[in-house]
Chains A and B, each alone.
Chain A
Amino acid sequence: MNQEKSRVLAVEAHGLVKVFGDNRAVDGVDLSVPQGVIYGVLGPNGAGKSTVINMLATLLNADGGSAKIFGHDVFANPQVVRQLIGVTGQSATVDELLSATENLVIFGRLLGLNHAAATKRADELLEEFDLQDAARKPLGKFSGGMRRRLDLAASLIVQPPLIFLDEPTTGLDPRTRNQLWETIRRLVQTGSTIVLTTQYLEEADQLADRIALIDHGRVIIEGTPDELKAAAGVTTLHLGLKSEEDADSAKELVEKLLRVAAIKTGPTDISAPMTDSDSITDLLISLRSSGLHLAEVSVQKPSLDEVFLALTGAQNMEEGN
């Protein structure tokens, strides 16, 4: 962590603004993405995720604010920034008339590889992304999942240190989605930094080291998935007792030691909000010394869904799904 802090940020944006007509699509977004992480930009449809990504990826000018990629100003030096990023847009950014190989070779040539190197790299990527079937035929004839994979492969030709993925798994079946998750995790292991957007809480929770939750063009909350959960609700302690007779005395003990109101959620089950995690140790010791035997102990964090709902409102949630 210390080492990460001493390195320049992969993305550093301050007060980004984008206005379309009278719609402030992005309304003062700050982002700090350290190197070597998966950073999730989470938000419902229309929140401004793509617009943020497009500005950071030099595809769209900002109406306000500043952004740096590895310390290079995005708006002053876009050509330098383009050498450090790979972008997979929300809609397909490959040529559907051409085959997978032709696509990759053309992108490779544009990126400065000679024909032999571009062909070799294309073959490597096709194998890695399990796309050999699409190697020779025009892409238009292939599934959304294959096109998505090719799109990602095309962003990795020169192994850029920062990769933007705009809703990489939207519309994919669960199996393909899981494959893509694996690929994304592997990329981070090789030292890349990933910024991905998603409408899916589960995806952000599963993949991202840090999450910025955005809605109506603003960052509502930012942090690790755990921090977000903590911010939205209180963690709950669940106790399951071995015998029903012990339940009431256990409940009293919980209330006394944790100084909260506990509830019986079943004949042998007790739940209590957990404000101070340290006091759990004392509680468990007292339970044992009082001869109250536990069948089960669990601590439950609120789900990201609850965070999302609490912070963006139920209406957005419906649009998002």
Chain B
Amino acid sequence: MATTQIVSAEKRQLKNHANSAQVMSNSLTMAYRGLLKFRRTPEQFFDVTLQPILFTSMFVVIFGGAIAGNVHNYLPTLIPGILVQTVVTASLVTGVQLREDMDKGVFNRFKSLPIARIAPLAGALLADTVRYAIAVTLTFGMGYLLGWRPEDGISGVFASGLLVIFFAWCISWIFAFFGVTARSAAGVQGVSILILFPLTFLSNAFVPVATMPHWLRPFVNANPVSLLIGAVRQLASAGTIGHDFWFSLLGALVIVLIFAPLTVRAYMSKA
């Protein structure tokens, strides 16, 4: 090493911007880092493993009789509700974890590297789709154990799982935005819960919209989470794609289009 000379600054090929191939490659590397970290911190999977198991059993035991007459009839309504609730909550955790990660020294190195600025964010959000996939699998699995047998078989269930994962990735940009702008991880949690509660509870997740007060119904019906739950119910149970599917997809895309640039901008101004 002492004898070989490095390439001098004047002789190096320097680029001003990251092209799209580099954006992809950097983001995938950051996602790979996220996956490696999962192996070492299994506690990051607690929410996406425990919640589906506990919630399905609890709701079935407590409310099953009250809402749909018997448990079996309630499952097609309940499973998509719990699934979406769990995955959307998990996407909040993405924001909190991103914040904690960003507070670590290694992010200073990422900032000093000539990489696409969006990569540390996009990579983290991408890696978290693994968590969403676990939640999807477990919730559907619990449903099956409790006796849920979708008429249309596995393909509709699979497609609805993908839809939910994609949706969660999209709305995780909202929480990533709070993650980047908030001062602390606790702050992210606080603000995000304020967003999350109306989204998940003012939805059709557990109670039919018809039982809600009139003034609330327009919000509940327009809520992207309700649309997603509706889409999953149709897709998983009957294998059909309806308005809910398209509107929830649209809503998710609008969220990305708004929040991804905002998040990257906020991140860059800090970087």
Chain A residues proximal to chain B, CB less than 8 Å: 7-8, 10, 35, 57-59, 70, 72, 77, 79-80, 82-87, 89, 91-98, 102, 106-107, 109-112, 128, 138, 154, 159-162, 186, 189-192
Residue contact B6 to A192, C-beta cutoff 8 Å: yes
Given contacts A91-B105, A93-B106, A94-B109, contact A83 B12 (CB under 8 A): yes
Option from A83, A89, A192 in Cβ contact (under 8 Å) with B14 = A83
**5 pairs across A/B with beta carbons < 8 Å?**
A79-B17, A92-B105, A93-B109, A95-B104, A110-B115
* A109 nearest CB across to chain B (Å): 4
* A281 nearest CB across to chain B (Å): 39
Residue contact A87 to B6, C-beta cutoff 8 Å: no
* Interface residue? B97 (CB, 8 A): no
Residue-wise, chain B 217-241 has the 8 Å CB interface mask toward A (1 for contact) of 0000000000000000000000000
For A164, give the chain B residue with the smallest CB separation: B112
Interfacial chain A residues near B10, Cβ < 8 Å: 7-8, 70
Option from A79, A93, A159 in Cβ contact (under 8 Å) with B108 = A93
Interfacial chain A residues near B9, Cβ < 8 Å: 8, 10, 35, 70, 84, 161-162
Residue contact B8 to A191, C-beta cutoff 8 Å: yes
Known: A93-B109, A94-B106. 12 other contacts (CB 8 A): A57-B112, A80-B14, A89-B105, A91-B105, A92-B106, A98-B36, A110-B115, A111-B113, A112-B22, A161-B8, A161-B9, A192-B6
Option from A10, A80, A190 in Cβ contact (under 8 Å) with B5 = A190
Residue contact B6 to A161, C-beta cutoff 8 Å: yes
A83 CA to B10 CA, complexed, in Å: 12
* Interface residue? B137 (CB, 8 A): no
Interfacial chain B residues near A106, Cβ < 8 Å: 29, 32-33, 36
Residue contact B29 to A110, C-beta cutoff 8 Å: yes
Give the total of B residues in contact with A, Cβ under 8 Å. Answer: 39
Residue contact B114 to A82, C-beta cutoff 8 Å: yes
A287 CA to B18 CA, complexed, in Å: 72
Residue contact A186 to B108, C-beta cutoff 8 Å: no
A93 CA to B111 CA, complexed, in Å: 10
* Interface residue? B41 (CB, 8 A): yes
For A161, give the chain B residue with the smallest CB separation: B9
* Interface residue? B204 (CB, 8 A): no
A138 CA to B39 CA, complexed, in Å: 11
Q: Interface centre among B29, B41, B114, by most A CB within 10 Å? A: B114
* Interface residue? B210 (CB, 8 A): no
* Interface residue? B247 (CB, 8 A): no
A5 CA to B82 CA, complexed, in Å: 69
Residue contact A58 to B40, C-beta cutoff 8 Å: no
A112 CA to B117 CA, complexed, in Å: 15
A57 CA to B271 CA, complexed, in Å: 11
* Interface residue? B20 (CB, 8 A): no
Residue contact B37 to A98, C-beta cutoff 8 Å: yes
Interfacial chain B residues near A89, Cβ < 8 Å: 105, 108-109
Given contacts A79-B16, A79-B114, contact A87 B109 (CB under 8 A): yes
* Interface residue? B62 (CB, 8 A): no
* B15 nearest CB across to chain A (Å): 7
For B101, give the chain A residue with the smallest CB separation: A95
Chain B residues proximal to chain A, CB less than 8 Å: 1-2, 4-10, 12, 14-18, 22, 25-26, 29-30, 32-33, 36-37, 40-41, 104-106, 108-115, 119, 271
Interfacial chain A residues near B112, Cβ < 8 Å: 57-59, 82, 85-87, 93
Interfacial chain B residues near A192, Cβ < 8 Å: 6
A157 CA to B1 CA, complexed, in Å: 13
Interfacial chain B residues near A190, Cβ < 8 Å: 1-2, 4-6
Interfacial chain B residues near A85, Cβ < 8 Å: 112
Residue contact B33 to A95, C-beta cutoff 8 Å: yes
* A79 nearest CB across to chain B (Å): 6
Residue contact A109 to B18, C-beta cutoff 8 Å: no
A192 CA to B5 CA, complexed, in Å: 9
Residue contact A84 to B36, C-beta cutoff 8 Å: no
* A239 nearest CB across to chain B (Å): 42
Given contacts A94-B106, A110-B113, contact A79 B15 (CB under 8 A): yes
Residue contact A189 to B109, C-beta cutoff 8 Å: no
For B111, give the chain A residue with the smallest CB separation: A59
Q: Which 7 pairs from chain A and chain B are nearest by CB?
A: A82-B114, A93-B109, A70-B9, A161-B9, A87-B112, A159-B6, A109-B29
Q: Interface centre among B5, B9, B29, B113, by most A CB within 10 Å? A: B9
A92 CA to B104 CA, complexed, in Å: 8
* B29 nearest CB across to chain A (Å): 4
Interfacial chain A residues near B119, Cβ < 8 Å: 110
A110 CA to B30 CA, complexed, in Å: 8
Residue contact A128 to B1, C-beta cutoff 8 Å: yes
Interfacial chain B residues near A160, Cβ < 8 Å: 6
Option from A91, A102, A110 in Cβ contact (under 8 Å) with B110 = A110
Option from A91, A98, A186 in Cβ contact (under 8 Å) with B40 = A98
Interfacial chain B residues near A70, Cβ < 8 Å: 9-10
Given contacts A190-B4, A191-B5, contact A97 B40 (CB under 8 A): yes
Interfacial chain A residues near B5, Cβ < 8 Å: 190-191
Q: Interface centre among B14, B25, B32, by most A CB within 10 Å? A: B14
Residue contact B105 to A93, C-beta cutoff 8 Å: yes
* B118 nearest CB across to chain A (Å): 13
* A51 nearest CB across to chain B (Å): 13
Residue contact B16 to A80, C-beta cutoff 8 Å: yes
A58 CA to B108 CA, complexed, in Å: 10
